[in-house]
């Protein structure tokens, strides 16, 4: 799975602008896939050069033209091939968890601050998922809803473990 596969999947439903694609990456896909404009636009250019998508420039009054991207039959075939390929093992990268793993090289106060910052970020992610559900749910398939529910449940579990861990570290004299 890569950004090409995800973008082809997004375009499979309907044509989108780069901005609309970015918004989808921010929510609801952010829990399990991340891409910014620095990835999206080069990927769109590559998909277009490969013949998987077409770009249409749409004129707008008093605004710059916007580009709308649509999937081609070749793109649909490429996306179908992705869906039928063997499933890849999930990978997870976390700067916080790497620092936590090596926290014994850091002072206790810094460790506590890292955990508090991670709790704040996790709370924001959880709220964003919860707040977005009323808007997303009516358009979601059952499988998409399952993705969102996994994100919410994972966020809840992460918050619980972080809060319990912070309380334990605060009671202890060592990290």
DSSP letters along 116-143, please?
Answer: HHHHHHHHHHHHHHHHHHHHHGGG--HH
pLDDT of residue 151: 87
Residues 155-161, mean pLDDT to the nearest whole number: 96
Instruction: Between 131 and 161, name the one with better pLDDT.
Output: 161
The model's pTM is 0.76
Residues 123-144, mean pLDDT to the nearest whole number: 88
What would you report as the CA-atom Rg of the chain, rounded to the nearest whole angstrom?
Answer: 20
- Phi first, then psi, for residue 35 (nearest 5°) are -160, 135
pLDDT of residue 175: 56
pLDDT of residue 42: 94
The rounded distance, in Å, linking the Cα atoms of 34 and 25 is 6
The residue among 65, 56, 69 whose CA lies nearest residue 15 is 69
Q: Which of 26-30, 111-115, 146-150, 162-166 is predicted with the least confidence, judged by mean pLDDT? A: 26-30
Q: Which residues of 119-154 are buried (b: 16+ CB within 10 A; e: fewer)?
A: beebeebbebbeebbeeeeeeeeeeeeeebeebbeb
Model confidence over 34-79: pLDDT tens digits? 777 788 999 999 999 999 999 999 988 888 889 999 999 999 999 9
The rounded distance, in Å, linking the Cα atoms of 70 and 57 is 11
Q: How confident is the model at residue 112 (pLDDT cuts 50, 70, 90)?
A: very high
């Amino acid at each position: 799975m890569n950004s090409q596969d995800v973008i082809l999947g997004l375009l499979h439903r309907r044509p989108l602008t780069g901005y609309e694609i970015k918004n989808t990456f921010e929510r609801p896909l952010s829990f399990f896939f991340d891409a910014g404009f620095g990835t999206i636009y080069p990927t769109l250019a590559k998909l277009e050069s490969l013949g998987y998508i077409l770009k249409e420039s749409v004129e707008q009054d008093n605004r710059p033209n916007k580009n709308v991207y649509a999937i081609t039959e070749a793109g649909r075939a490429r996306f179908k091939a992705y869906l039928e390929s063997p499933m890849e093992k999930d990978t997870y990268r976390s700067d916080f968890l790497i620092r936590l793993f090596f926290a014994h090289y850091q002072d206790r106060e810094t460790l506590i601050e890292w955990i508090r910052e991670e709790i704040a970020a996790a709370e924001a992610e959880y709220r964003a998922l919860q707040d977005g559900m009323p808007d997303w749910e009516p358009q979601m398939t059952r499988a998409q809803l399952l993705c969102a529910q996994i994100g919410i449940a994972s966020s809840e579990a992460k918050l619980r473990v972080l809060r319990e861990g912070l309380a334990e570290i605060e009671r202890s004299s060592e990290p």
